[in-house]
Amino acid sequence: MKKNMGSADRILRIIIAIAIAVLYFTNTISGTLGIALLILATVFVLTGFIGFCPLYAPFKIRTNKKSE
């Protein structure tokens, strides 16, 4: 599994995930929308740390500069 996400993409995903978590745990967002966004935040954190986005692969999208 080759990394297909650059540093900026990874950092942005983690920041968005943190923002969603803060909004959820302060009860700013709740219910079904809150749970769906919390699941999305979890995916963002996982893909951010791994450096690989499964949705980028079929479209051959690469945000990293290295040609691995």
The domain segmentation of the chain, as residue ranges, is 7-50
CA angle 45, 3, 67 (to 5 degrees): 145
pLDDT at 67 over 60: no
pTM of the predicted model, to two decimals? 0.85
Residue pLDDT, tens place only, 30-57: 999 999 999 999 999 999 999 999 999 8
Q: Distance of alpha carbon 65 from its chain centroid, rounded?
A: 19
Cα 27 to Cα 39: distance, rounded to the nearest angstrom: 16
Q: How confident is the model at residue 68 (pLDDT cuts 50, 70, 90)?
A: low
